[in-house]
Amino acid sequence: MEMDVVQELQGHSDRVWSVAWRPDSGISGRPSMLASCSGDKTVRIWQCSSSQDLFIQHWSCVAVLDGMHQRTVRSCEWSPDGKLLATASFDGTTAIWENVGGDFECVASLEGHENEVKSVSWNCSGTLLATCGRDKSVWIWELQPGNEFECTSVLHGHSQDVKMVLWHPCEDILVSASYDNSIKAWIEDKDREDWVCAQTLSDSWGHTSTVWTVSFDASGHRLVSCSDDLSLKIWDSHSNLLSEGNLWKHLCTISGYHDRTIFSVHWSKASGLIATGAGDDCIRIFSEESNEKSTLGGDLTYKMVLKKEKAHITDVNCVRWHPQEASLLASAGDDGVVKIWKVAGESLY
């Protein structure tokens, strides 16, 4: 398996924290669009000029979203229909931008978090937004007509900084990852008219240090998490062995491959490969080991199929697979650069 740079996207003047592909990139001839957010308080929108060949260097910056955030923009996510972009900032606010014919206009600003907002996520229907931050809380917002947002719930439970929130790809289940080493799953309890923590993944099978990122596989049955404890964990919700009240079961732990904090992990919807970005400047790719004996919870393993050293000259903060094109990967680093990669090899398809 090989991985080569397609293009290096320069422009940010500080570390790039996150990148996000617009969900409809490449569908029906739509150009691929990538958003990146940075410590320079801006968000940049990059677009590939040709939808035909994504592997020739013609990505360019088509918009810079600035003037809203007073501090680092830590996370950016597109709504499922690609019309809105949510940006979470250390200034405590989450801004919502609307793409109006190529221009991005800030249409809403969500306040309420006490301090830095670390992550934002849209649910699969685009009706709910989740945010989380250093104030240890997770907020759920509901989109109202006219791009208005109403706070639906303020969830407490984590005992430390919440690093990431992510909605399940098909159902309204919210997952959060925290500095308190745990992962929590939240669901709506209609009786209580509120959201509650349905499960906490910690202790015996859980991570032993900060959980930085989580990512679902295409079906949403599996979840991968990465941590400062140098391991990846795969969690499964498909098993008949799951007891009542427990959505997720630990499937396997992938360790021994990373020697620095794993900051980011992403599960490709197109290929099923898992990519990681770590504090040792490397990007690694893992593939499920095809094993005939493999049963759930039994012989499932993942093997590393690629290690790209010096992917960035600094920590790799974020890795994201293209939503449609299996061989494309984007990464963001402390070096202020966004890189587009082409991955080639047998494990890809």
Partner 1 sequence: MSKFSAGLKLGDLNDFIAPSQTCIVSLKGVKKNSQPEKGVIRMQERVQTTEQDTAPVKVTLHDCLACSGCVTSAETVMLEQQSVDEFLKQVSSAEKAVIVSVSPQSRASLASYYGITPLQALKKLTTFFKSLGVKAVFDTSCSRDMSLIESCEEFIKVYKAQGTSNFKGQKRGFPLLASSCPGWVCYAEKTLDASILSHISCVKSPQQAMGAIIKRFACANMGLKVDEVYHVTVMPCYDKKLEASRDDFVFSIEGNENNEQAGTARFTEVDCVLTSGEMLDLLQGRCSDFMLLDESPLDRMLTNVDESGHLYGSRGGSGGYAECIFRHAARELFNKELSSPLEFKTLRNSDFKELTLEVEGEVVLRFACCYGFRNIQNLVRKMKTGKCEYQFVEIMACPSGCLNGGGQIKPRKGQSGKELIQNLETVYLKEVNVSNPYENPIIKGLYDSWLDHPGSQKCLQVMHTGYHTREKNVASEISNW
Residues forming the site for partner 1 (CB under 8 A): 111-112, 114-116, 135, 137, 150-154, 156, 191-194
CB closer to partner 1 out of 103 and 111: 111
| The length of the chain, given as a count of residues | 349
66 vs 189 by CB, closer to partner 1: 189
Q: Between 36 and 153, whose beta carbon lies closer to partner 1?
A: 153
Q: How many CB atoms lie within 10 A of CB 241?
A: 10
Query: φ and ψ at 227, to 5 degrees?
Result: -145, 165
Nearer to partner 1, 137 or 317 (CB): 137
Closest approach, Cβ 192 to partner 1, in A, equals: 7
* Cβ 174 to partner 1 shortest distance, Å: 15
Nearer to partner 1, 159 or 294 (CB): 159
Which residue's CB is nearer to partner 1, number 22 or number 74?
A: 74
Closer residue to partner 1 (CB): 97 or 302: 97
CB of residue 161 vs partner 1: minimum separation in angstroms? 11
Min. distance of Cβ 176 from partner 1 in angstroms? 16
CB of 129 to partner 1, least distance (A): 14
- Residue 153 CB, nearest approach to partner 1 (Å): 6
Rounded to a whole number of angstroms, the minimum distance from the CB of residue 183 to partner 1 is 21
Given the complex with partner 1, which of 174 and 223 has the nearer CB atom? 174
Paired residues of 47 in beta bridges: 33, 60
In the complex, minimum distance from the CB of residue 297 to partner 1, in angstroms, rounded to a whole number: 34
Determine contact, residues 60/33, Cβ cutoff 8 Å. no
